[in-house]
Structure 1
Amino acid sequence: MQLQPHIIIPNLINAFNKGDFLLVINTVKQNAAIARADAVVPQLYGSAMRKIGRLDDAAKIFEKGLKLFPQSSDLMNSYGNLLLDKGQTHKAILWFTKALKVKPGAFDYKYNLARAFLVSKRYKDAEMQCHDLLKREPIKSTVLLLIASILIENKRDAEAERYLKKLLETEPKNVKALNNLGNIKRRNNQFNEAILLYKKALSTGQSTAELFQNLAAAFALNGLLDEAFATYKEGLTTFPDSVGLHKEYAHLAWVQNVEAPFALLEKNLSLDKPDLILAYTELMIRVEEFDKAKVWLEKLVEAKLPSYQIAAAASLSNTLRELGDFDRALATVSVNASKPTVETLPLLIEKSYALLSLKRYKEAVKALELVCRIAPFNQGYWTLLSTAYKACGNEQKYSELCNYQKFVEVTPLFESEGSNLSFIEALEAHLNTLHNNERHPIGQSLRNGSQTFENLLEAEHDLIKALKIAIEDRATSFLSALLSQKKHPFLSRLHPDVNFIGSWSVRLRKKGFHKSHYHSEGWLSGVLYVDVPSEVEQNGNGWLVFGRPDITGVTMVEDFAIKPKKGNLVLFPSYMWHGTNPILTDEQRLTVAFDIVPANESQG
């Protein structure tokens, strides 16, 4: 039967616009030759695959289409959007740029290029694209939202606020603008203003799971816990499949010691909702309820859902390892970890853990060296590699990564002892007002203590501002004395300026301690001692210890330890195993901790 592109193509466009993506896919499959008739066909076909989550299939369709229609700028643009979804930002930028060369005035291409620049943290480039777009359409809502997001990421909140208010002047019920403005207020501890903005957004009748999530968080941060719990529950009634709402509710219920904190999530579990299963099992692993995680992960692996196989297998391997079934943990991931890619990296990591637990250290070294080549910026992988080197007795390699004498810095926060202690006393009084939780957060190293929410060093409080400046001064001074070294995970990234990517305060109570851990997203980590119990003078109680891994089946003693002293700051590479010995008395141990990255990496 002869193809009739003039009939089929309009039908494809109509089906796609209505959201009937399967009709688009099936029609093209049944009329394969139509893909060669016009560039719009592979564009629609690939975009439909993208919409149903079959990203790899979509990529193949776009690539084939671009061979047939190498000058189709719309096809280039659609392929760029897919690459953004796949996390291949640099390739996305390349294709958006190619599309703009073919059609320089295309508004959507330039907008998507700005989005890609934002994702890759090239903030100046992203902002420049937005300014070009705003010259053409000064009140275009999508562009105003985008430039505000760029400025927020770049910590230029006041400028972002002006763009959002400009948008709200013409669209007072724009939910995204109200939400994002609320996020700015929340980040700056203006919780009442944030709450009003989130409520206004919800009152438009265009509620989203994110809005309920943000409103509940603002209530919790403002100490209004009853309102927070009520908001989470209302949100979950409206959006029962929201992973974010379920996880945040469970975290708050846990730290507030609510009975059955995971009950709402457990009621919604089914194989029809694999995202909820992964969220639930992640929580169970983190609260060490491994048997509960194992039941659902085995079901998910058996279901063989293509988009979830890697995550499910990696988590099941983790669970089995924690239960002491090392051989089965290894078998669960070994086959699919044999030819690793970025996508299958979680399987290779779990394989490496299992090899360490089985004491097959040489194989672990080989696997982890490959992991570190694939993802060199993840500090946790270097942690595991250092453990494998240590286990193999390779002291040279271990020392290159974990030279404690060279890479661990202990210094007073301020040089003047009097100024240091007076500042620390004031800081202690302030921090004690922030610790209101009943127990430690889920998934953190902390046991028997509390941890503050949000990013502590972003607060507008005068003491916190001064603290941030002082820590930054000490960090840059320490880093300036080090020499750059290629291929070293710490020394290869030296930069004169730094940025904080996370900061928090921890208060340990009786029998409180930190399990050994590392900070995979950081580069330089640190801790400031604000209040120290007198028992640190005895038996190493409360001391900070390095080099003692927390891997089931692996037992190693620490290599280095530091006695806490009030007012002292300790700096060290984020990949070093570190934890604390328990404190045994009723005195508290109060600290501020943080992660830092080089400014050139976090600013783009």
Structure 2
Amino acid sequence: MTSQLTPHAAAVAQTAAALMNQRRFSEARRLLAPLARDCAGQADLHFLLGAACAGASEPAAAESALSDALAIDPEHQRAAVDLARLLSAQGRHAELLDRTARAAAVDRPHEALLGERARALAAIGQGDEAVAVRRRAAALNPGKGHLLHNLAATQGDVGLNIDAESSARAALRLSDKPETWLVLARALQGQNRFDEAETAFSEATARRPMYFAALHDHAQLVWMRTGDLDEATTVLNRMALNGVEGRPARLIKAQLMQAAGDAEGAYASLADDIRSDDIAALVMGAQLALAIDPGAALQHALRATALAPQDRAAERILINANLALGRASEALEALAEPLRRAPFDQGFIAAQWTAWRLLDDPRAAALYDYQNVVSAGMIDAPPGWISLSAYLQDLRTALLRLHGLTAHPLGQSLRHGAQTSANLLRSDDPTIRAFPAAIDAAVRRHLSFIGSGDDILRSRNTGEYRIQSMWSVRLAPHGFHTNHVHPEGWLSSACYIETPDDEEAGEHDGWLKFGEPGPTSPSLAAQRHIRPEPGLLVLFPSYMWHGTSPFRRGARMSIAFDLVPA
């Protein structure tokens, strides 16, 4: 590193490096700052200075020094890695990709740099590109199991379940890790190979008995397959028999109880955990208490936010607890900072609307301008089908093959129904693969319908779109969706493939409803209803509260997806 430096400069740099090894970063920075000024063309010195500033918790100075290093040598690997980590921590993913592009373009970039770039690509919704970067890292470093694991995990995240299975099995041949068994289990579940998925979940927890994510997903899969609370909790009971039951298992059991309709029992089961300083227990306790005891929910939420001031789940439940108590002004006060940090978080926007509506603020009507931001129209028959009815019939048959589950996922809005495990965007079935073409004209009409502007919705309208995720839901008799929003979307949807045919249905039975939020005081009724019918696509802002009313007979199958600007 110091071969081109004067003997004095080299000695100072070595002293600084030794100080950094002792975590005496501020002292190292004081030595390196004047040296970097005097040796302006030395990329290594600027890198060292950047590392010292980062260690001394001076991110702005670290960014400046690392940028100087890359200005001198755009291919400097360690400077690029450290700058990428710094920008990633600040959520500046697009900048990260731009400013480390030259370093990543060399024949053999540092594997850590490729990892940071893959995470950044995933964060901005470029999942396929993230997979390509992970694949490159694994190819450049054969025999490294963790890189194959990372590839498998990223493939699974974007719905490439067959590829994820292959990569996970290759990783396991090199390194038998519980995390990789979990990735494999999820990939198998995404292929509807549920027995094999359960075995893989068990392999993960055999290696780490209190592996929360694997326990959660295993118990959830058993619940979704059976709809039986006792069967699902058997997964957790095995942990207790082995003497390793703990708070994570109790939290999962409470989620299962809530899914089975026993929110009061779930809340009571967490009494001891809620008295602790565990953020997850406090947040879940507050969530369960919203409709049971909003005052208790507020107290749990206040404790959670005091312990973790910027925890988004804690912030969200504090806002919701205030709304449940009718404390709209306090909810707006609690919303100010989270909305500043995450202005496009659709859940925060929905909470703001709820507070405005409670206060009779005219901004509520302007934001939920149903006539101008919600559309309902028929999709087209895609190429290869002579009519829309023929396409819908084939689509229903194709989707039924994927609906191998009985009950709803934990924490989701549907009740008395099930959801597909696979990301439909990755389906090999030609009928399902034709669905994006079937909806394209309707989506483009909607983008033209809402138009452009400077509000939170229209300011993001580029006229182009990308489907972020797509899934199917099938509701049984008495099925419905609880009121919810889609926090990560921009536009959301419901496209009906099959709808109940019940001549005795009551008013609005099975209809889509808008504008009825979660618990509030006073309660707020829905403001608009749309009657579903096969082939109808409804598009609306992701920040808009929506749910459905139960129906009594028949079944309802739909495809839902979220859109983001392209």
Q: Same fold (TM over 0.5)?
A: yes
TM-score, reference length from structure 1: 0.75
Aligned amino acid, residue 97 of structure 2: A
Say which of 214, 224, 227 aligns to 1:255: 224
Q: How does 1:95-174 map to 2 (within 5 A)?
A: 96-98=66-68, 100=70, 106-114=76-84, 120=91, 122=93, 126=97, 129=100, 132-133=103-104, 135=106, 137=108, 142=112, 154-156=126-128, 160=132, 164=135, 167-168=138-139, 172-174=142-144
Q: Give, as a single letter, the amino acid of the residue that structure 1 aligns with 2:106.
A: K
Q: Which residue of 1 aligns with 2:212?
A: 243
SS in 2 for 1:423: helix
1:461: which partner in 2?
A: 429
- Judge conservation of contact 1:448–1:509 (CA < 8 Å) in 2: yes
Instruction: Measure how far apart 1:343 and its partner are.
Output: 1.2
- Which SS does the other structure have where 2:476 is aligned? strand
Q: Please, which runs of 5 or more residues in structure 1 have no aligned partner?
A: 1-36, 47-60, 600-604
> How does 1:481-560 map onto structure 2 within 5 Å?
481-486=449-454, 488-535=455-502, 538-551=506-519, 554-560=522-528
SS of 1:436's equivalent in the other structure is coil
Displacement of 1:154 in angstroms is: 2.6
Percent identity of equivalent pairs: 26
TM-score, normalised via structure 2 length: 0.79
Q: C-alpha separation between the residues in 2 aligned to 1:80 and 1:286?
A: 45
Output the CA distance in 1 between the equivalents of 2:63 and 2:250. Answer: 34
User: What SS does the aligned partner of 2:494 have?
Assistant: strand
Identify which of 353, 378, 382 aligns with 1:386. Answer: 353
Give, in angstroms, the shift of residue 481 of structure 1.
Answer: 3.5
Distance apart, 1:63 and its partner CA: 7.3
For residues 41 and 301 of structure 1, do their structure 2 counterparts lie closer, same or farther at Cα, with a shift above 3 Å needed?
Answer: farther
Q: Which residue of 2 aligns with 1:411?
A: 377
Find the residue that maps to 1:126 and give its secondary structure. helix
| 2:251–2:281 Cα contact (<8 Å) kept | yes
Q: CA deviation at 1:503?
A: 1.4
Select the residue among 583, 587, 591 that pairs with 2:551. Answer: 583
Report the Cα distance in structure 2 between the residues aligned to 1:112 and 1:38, rounded to whole angstroms: 21
Which residue in the other structure is 2:290 paired with?
Answer: 321
Identify the residue that residue 185 of structure 2 maps to in structure 1: 216
Cα distance in structure 1, aligned partners of 2:470 and 2:106: 38
Contact kept in structure 1, 2:452 and 2:461, CA below 8 Å: yes
CA distance in 1 between counterparts of 2:523 and 2:404 reads 35
Distance of aligned partners of 1:63 and 1:413 in 2 relative to their CA distance in 1, 3 Å threshold: farther
SS, match of residue 135 in structure 1: coil
Alignment-derived partner of residue 203 in structure 1: 173
Q: What is the CA-CA distance between 1:500 and the residue it aligns to?
A: 2.0
Relative to structure 1, is the Cα distance of residues 149 and 574 closer, same or farther in structure 2, using a 3 angstrom cutoff? closer
How much does 1:382 deviate? 1.6
Q: Which residue number corresponds to residue 3 of structure 2?
A: none
Q: CA deviation at 1:402?
A: 0.6
Q: Tell me, in whole angstroms, the C-alpha distance in 1 between the residues paired with 2:360 and 2:543.
A: 19
Distance 2:62 2:351 in 1: 32
The CA deviation string for residues 531-588 of structure 1, in whole angstroms up to 9 with x for no partner, is: 1112387522210011112316552221000001211110000111111111211x21
1:42 and 1:391 map into 2 onto residues whose CA distance is: 58
Structure 2: distance between partners of 1:77 and 1:155: 30
Provide the C-alpha distance between the structure 1 equivalents of 2:310 and 2:438, rounded to a whole number of angstroms: 40
- What are the ranges of 5 or more consecutive residues in structure 2 without an aligned counterpart? 1-13, 37-45
| Residue identity in the other structure for 1:583 | F
1:294–1:319 contact (8 Å) kept in structure 2: no
Matches of 1:224 and 1:463 in 2, distance apart? 21
Residue correspondence of structure 1 range 395-410 to structure 2 within 5 A: 396-410=362-376
1:6 match: none
How many Å separate the matches in 1 of 2:533 and 2:506? 13
Q: Give me the whole-angstrom Cα distance separating, in 1, the residues matched to 2:155 and 2:107.
A: 30
Q: CA deviation at 1:124?
A: 8.9
